Structure 1
Amino acid sequence: MKGIIVSLYATTASFRDPNTHLYQETILVPPPTTIVGISGAALGMEFRDALEYFKINRISVGCIAKNQGIGKDLWNYSKIKGKEVIKSILMREFLYGINADIFFTCEDSIRIEELYNAFKNPCFALTLGNSDELVKITNIEIYDEILISESKDIQDTWIYGNYIKDFELNWDKVKELPIKSTIRPPVVKNLPIDFSFNDNEEREATRLSKFTFLADVHLLKKSVVVYSFKERLVPLFTFSEI
């Protein structure tokens, strides 16, 4: 099984939790469908076609990301209620100074080569979150052999499933934090992994699954399945038609 790592940098990025509205909280690591979206832009596909591409080929994705902080921004927006247009504002969180490594594997090596070439020469501008949050590709590496094992040593990533009761603090990391730092538990989000589309390409979530987001101060109590990109270990999620 072959794989690639695409390393990205963005000055700002935002991964909105679809369950939030007037206060739009950002997720700390790009979730699976965001990875499909940016891959579709590289491949020259609309999101609908990119999602089908990932499902048919059973492509697995993962991500490890770090940022330099979180900010908040006020957004004006308009919504249509009957014949009336109502203007209001919302608060949206964003990350700044984000470095993300996106991982891909597939049993079909041709698909990995397609993704590798697409990120080498993207068809469309690549963004993380909003359309104006452009990213810079800093590195792309291809791996001829990806191994599957188990490990507890994973941070700054997400895991498919709910692991809120299966973690402890990494006290070595905690001791290095500034005194005013806030330590939060892992975050569990119920996120869409599949959609239906209408003729206007508007989408509606048809399947949701829980994902646990771990920071660098969290340690798992039990091992989970991880994929080895040489010395890099990361849990992955596989898109499928089921």
Structure 2
Amino acid sequence: MYGVRVEFVAETASFRDPGGQLFHATLPLPPASTIIGIAGAAIGLTFADAWNWFQENRISIGAKGKSVGKGKDLWIYTKIYSNSKKESPGKDTVNREFLCLTSRRAGEASGWIALYYACENQEVMRKLYHSFQDPVYALSLGTNDEIAKCRSIRWFDNLHECDTQDVQDVWLEGDFRHSLTLDWEKIKNMPIAITLTPPNIANLPVDFEFDPETRERRAVKYKPFTFIQEYLMVNKSVQAYQYGEEKIPLTKISR
């Protein structure tokens, strides 16, 4: 199995929960659609073509990262109605949440997002690796104005699969709410007070159908994912791949 790890830095990032309406809460890490969309932009593919390329090549994906805080932004947008309606579309507001990846406080670490790709086909992974070195389109972590910079791009020749409980700041495929405990040793050693929050579990799309004419997408399959914060531990071993010193759970995108 061959692998590619791409680490990004940016001012902000936002990964909209698909179920959000007037309040766009952000997920803590990019979902499968964003991970594949970023790779498609690097290669120069539309989202539909990128999704099909990942499925055909049975590419596995994962994500890991940290933010230094959150913020909220109020957007005013113009409503779009169908042509059959004659009234003025009007305007409305939406509250959008975003992650802060850059700290302005002296001595405080900045956040980062890393994406992980794996495939048994070396040629496919080489194409992805070189595309991130010279992307066709600008890469962003959310909206078009959240431009991201590749801080590092690493190649892995032989990814080893392992069973581990040592995972944090990652997505785990499945609902692990009843398989988590607090890591009190880590919590006690943290230098500042922190806020403990419940496990973040989201039902995210893992497959789409595309209109043959407009190429609009429609989610047709969902799976639960659990975000493992740094102060949580899983009670049972999970499958992961060894990217250097990191152990990353992956999700396979296949038909």
After TM superposition, the score normalised by the length of structure 1 is: 0.96
Q: What secondary structure does 1:125 align onto?
A: coil
- Alpha-carbon distance between aligned partners in 2 of 1:177 and 1:60, rounded to the nearest angstrom: 36
Deviations 1:86-140 (A, max 9, x none): 3111111000114011111101011110000000100000001101110000111
Structure-2 residue corresponding to 1:128: 141
Aligned length: 240
- Alpha-carbon distance between aligned partners in 2 of 1:173 and 1:38, rounded to the nearest angstrom: 33
Structure-2 residue corresponding to 1:88: 92
- Alpha-carbon distance between aligned partners in 1 of 2:202 and 2:234, rounded to the nearest angstrom: 17
- Alpha-carbon distance between aligned partners in 2 of 1:193 and 1:15, rounded to the nearest angstrom: 15
Which residue, 206, 216, 219 being the options, matches 1:193?
206
Q: What secondary structure does 2:132 align onto?
A: helix
One-letter code of the match for 2:120? E
One-letter code of the match for 2:27? I
| CA RMSD after TM alignment | 1.1
Which residue, 226, 239, 242 being the options, matches 2:253?
239
* Runs (5+) with no aligned partner, structure 1: none
One-letter code of the match for 2:219? A
Deviation at 1:20, TM superposition (A): 1.0
Larger mean CA deviation between 197-206 and 60-69 belongs to 197-206
- Alpha-carbon distance between aligned partners in 1 of 2:175 and 2:27, rounded to the nearest angstrom: 15
Q: What secondary structure does 1:113 align onto?
A: helix
Deviation at 1:78, TM superposition (A): 2.1
* 1:115 pairs with 2:118: no
Deviations 1:166-218 (A, max 9, x none): 10111123221633x32112111111111112222221111111111111111
Structure-2 residue corresponding to 1:4: 4
* 1:36 pairs with 2:39: no
Deviation at 1:80, TM superposition (A): 2.9
- Alpha-carbon distance between aligned partners in 1 of 2:99 and 2:133, rounded to the nearest angstrom: 25
Q: What secondary structure does 1:173 align onto?
A: helix
- State the structure with more CA Rg: 2
Residue correspondence of structure 1 range 98-177 to structure 2 within 5 A:
98-175=111-188, 176=190
Q: What secondary structure does 1:105 align onto?
A: strand
- Alpha-carbon distance between aligned partners in 2 of 1:20 and 1:83, rounded to the nearest angstrom: 28
Q: What secondary structure does 2:90 align onto?
A: strand
Structure-2 residue corresponding to 1:205: 219
Residue correspondence of structure 1 range 22-101 to structure 2 within 5 A:
22-81=22-81, 82-84=85-87, 85-97=89-101, 98-101=111-114
- Alpha-carbon distance between aligned partners in 1 of 2:191 and 2:49, rounded to the nearest angstrom: 44
- Alpha-carbon distance between aligned partners in 1 of 2:31 and 2:80, rounded to the nearest angstrom: 29
- Alpha-carbon distance between aligned partners in 1 of 2:206 and 2:10, rounded to the nearest angstrom: 24
- Alpha-carbon distance between aligned partners in 2 of 1:32 and 1:93, rounded to the nearest angstrom: 19
- Alpha-carbon distance between aligned partners in 2 of 1:18 and 1:230, rounded to the nearest angstrom: 33
> Displaced runs of 4+ in structure 1, greater than 4 A?
none
* Runs (5+) with no aligned partner, structure 2: 102-110
Q: Identity of paired residues, percent?
A: 40
